[in-house]
Amino acid sequence: MSSPPPTESPPRLRLGILLSGTGRTLVNLSDRIAAGSLAAEIALVISDRPDVVGLHRAHALGHPTAVTREASATFDLLREHRVDLVCLAGYLRLLPIPEDFAGRVLNIHPSLLPKFGGRGMYGHHVHEAVLAAHERESGCTVHLCDDQYDHGTVLLQRRVPVLPGDDADKLAARVFAAECEAYPAAIAAWVSRVAG
């Protein structure tokens, strides 16, 4: 009698994470994977700056890391590590996307795009602009990247209120909590979209 074929688990989605700063988004995705709520693995973390906190966090979590500012070297590394999906995670550089990665690069931005996006709109600049415009709500957007800052097909948005007494820190914390839910959900949405 022949033995049953070995059960092979399906290959996991291989993520490439690109960061420039603190790596909080990386840590969130890594934690979700470890908790079993995001079916993926982190194949490579690339920073465009040496010695940033995000890189140290990636090391501590046991993820492979690399440092490069060059777009072509970045994509060569992502190919070498057989990355399926690239997640920008606080990555501040505008990245020209080669044809073979079109539709495979996501970004999360801490506003309801198209509002408060574009060059120079990152971190507290975004939240300060939201407060200065007296917006009643803000939130985050996960989108496919194209060759413009904070631009491309929106996959998912999450809204949060702007509350009386908010300053940029308070609003940033509320938006970041929404981001922690939105990015894993958007990755799952991307997978469903690709699986068609």
Q: How far apart are CA 81 and CA 16, in angstroms?
A: 8
Nearest to 178 by CA among 148, 146, 137: 137
- Within 13 A of 186's CA, how many CA atoms are on the CB side? 28
C-beta of residue 162 within 8 angstroms of C-beta of residue 130: yes
Of residues 63-82, those binding ligand GRF (CB under 6 A): none
Q: Tell me phi and psi for residue 134, to 5 degrees.
A: 55, 40
Site string for ligand GRF, 27-66 (x = CB under 6 A): ---------------------------x------------
Q: How far apart are CA 62 and CA 42, in angstroms?
A: 10
> With binding defined as CB under 6 A, does residue 25 bind ligand GRF?
yes
> With binding defined as CB under 6 A, does residue 141 bind ligand GRF?
no
> With binding defined as CB under 6 A, does residue 152 bind ligand GRF?
no
Residue of 63, 109, 127, 143 marked active site? 109
Which one of residues 138, 174, 179, 182 is an interface residue with ligand GRF (CB under 6 A)? Answer: 179
Active site residue 63: no
> With binding defined as CB under 6 A, does residue 110 bind ligand GRF?
yes
Nearest to 15 by CA among 81, 80, 75, 94: 81
> With binding defined as CB under 6 A, does residue 109 bind ligand GRF?
yes
**Which positions are catalytic?**
109
Contact residues toward ligand GRF (CB under 6 A) are: 19, 21-25, 54, 89-90, 108-110, 140, 176, 179
